[in-house]
Amino acid sequence: MSSEAFPDIPVIPFEGPDSRNPLAFKHYDKEEVIGGKPMKDHFRFGMAYWHTMRNPLADPFGPGTSQKPWDDGTDSVENAVKRVDVAFEFMQKTGIDFYCFHDRDVAPEGATLKESNESLDRVADALESKQKETGIKLLWGTACLFAHPRYNQGAATSPYAEVFAYAGAQVKKALEVTHRLGGEGYTFWGGREGYSTLWNTNLKQELEHLAAFLHMAVDHARKIGFTGQFYIEPKPREPSTHQYDSDSAACLNFLREHDLLDHLKLNIETNHATLAGHSMMHELEVAMAAGALGSIDANTGDELIGWDTDQFPTNIYLTTQIMLCLLKMGGFTTGGLNFDAKPRRESFEPVDLFHAHIGGMDAFARGLKVAHAIREDGRLDQFVADRYSSYDSGIGAKIQGREVGFEQLEAHVLSQGEPSIPSGRQEMLENLINEFI
Ligand code: XLS
Ligand code: NI
Ligand code: NI
């Protein structure tokens, strides 16, 4: 295998917590069973093609630094096909079982839609044969509706019908390729589905167009027999000033209003949650309360930089919270943990891609172990159950059962007097969590 892209890097072994080998897992042991299920099935880790294979690591102040010796730097289909081998070698060596892509990450955009589609088909041939060879699967596909200049004022929410049409045609193809590759999902992230200024924007019309677009996608999926899960990925801004799918609550409201809640779940990304002024746990809980948590873009932001810095998640507190939510939900069905993350611009060598993914996977393995232990211990769940136990009987049960109105509540208070309530015990619970971390 002299054509390997990472000849000096072996398949990353699990060596356990005492290992000092930076290219080994300390906690992620694929087949280790936790709570009745192997670790790998809890996580369903995904590699984000756009970052791991394509991100040059540029920032607004300087060009990309990333070294990709296998890439000839051109936009040729041949080069794109060569990258497929590299992507699968990377996933095999890190033990990642899924990947996610945008149409334009895997294949170049041509001068016409026809040309773009032909290139995509050629790369899809390569992806399909690599999937067969390795057993690696497509977690979800998507279309890049934000990079090409035609989309500078939006795609489905562009004021220009010709642009809407182009976006529809592009998603049609991306959906068909996702279907062909056995994709378990299809994601909509509306990078430019929002506005830069309200002075030139008909917000109501744009929202209706977005809904129409999503309905067309659902209809087309049905037509071609795609039964994968659709996701919408909340993010409040960047690149737009305001993005319509700004957070979980906004997405759910939009989906409900436009009769789409049966068809789309949420794909929640940590860095987007914090950009929206929420914690990841908040966004997950809001989605779960609606039965709409579908998948996760696993990354993290920087507390001191206000952008979507897409860093690899290494914070055990964060991964514990995410895994507590997932365990509570009963785990993923179609979704997974897609590393929508990139190394820093300063970490430009190919080996840094390995360090980054290993770190993320190990952080989630620890989060899973901690979350599982917290659940087995039971004190946290018991505390929460006790906290709401006044709704289990008496007036509480009647409130919950909607058997009483204000008049009965008034009568109750007149007979019972001032309620005495216990402490919320936040600090005690924070200490309890730290017992496990
Ligand atoms: C960008 C988004 C994007 C989506 C896929 O901020 O996270 O990468 O996940 O279009
Ligand atoms: Ni994302
Ligand atoms: Ni993002």
Closest residue by Cα to atom 5, ligand 1, is 189
- What domains are there in the chain, each with its CATH number? 33-377 (3.20.20.150), 397-436 (no CATH)
Outline where 96-227 has alpha helix (H): 103-106, 113-134, 161-180, 203-224
How far is ligand 3, taken at its centre, from the CA of residue 252, in Å?
19
What pTM was computed for the model?
0.98
**pLDDT tens sequence across 217-234:** 999 999 999 999 999 999
Substitution site in 235, 247, 267, 339 for ligand 1 pocket (most atoms within 8 Å of beta carbon): 235
Substitution site in 49, 50, 51 for ligand 1 pocket (most atoms within 8 Å of beta carbon): 50
| Cα–Cα distance measured from residue 315 to residue 300, given in angstroms and rounded to the nearest whole number | 9
Query: Residues in the chain with pLDDT < 50?
Result: 1-2
DSSP letter for each residue of 50-92: HHHTT----BTTB------TT--SS--HHHHHHHHHHHHHHHH
* Angle of helix 161-180 versus helix 113-134 axis, rounded to 10: 20
Closest residue by Cα to atom 6, ligand 1, is 308
Question: 27, 51, 102, 209: which one is catalytic?
Answer: 102
- 3-state secondary structure (DSSP) of residue 37: strand
- Ligand 1 pocket list (CB less than 6 A): 102, 142, 187, 189, 233, 235, 269, 297, 308, 340
pLDDT attached to residue 1: 41
pLDDT attached to residue 3: 80
Whether the CB-CB separation of 80 and 147 falls below 8 Å is answered with: no
Is 105 tagged catalytic? yes
Closest residue by Cα to atom 3, ligand 1, is 189
How far is ligand 2, taken at its centre, from the CA of residue 182, in Å?
20
pLDDT attached to residue 306: 86
Substitution site in 233, 272, 307, 309 for ligand 1 pocket (most atoms within 8 Å of beta carbon): 233
How far is ligand 1, taken at its centre, from the CA of residue 415, in Å?
56
Is 29 tagged catalytic? no
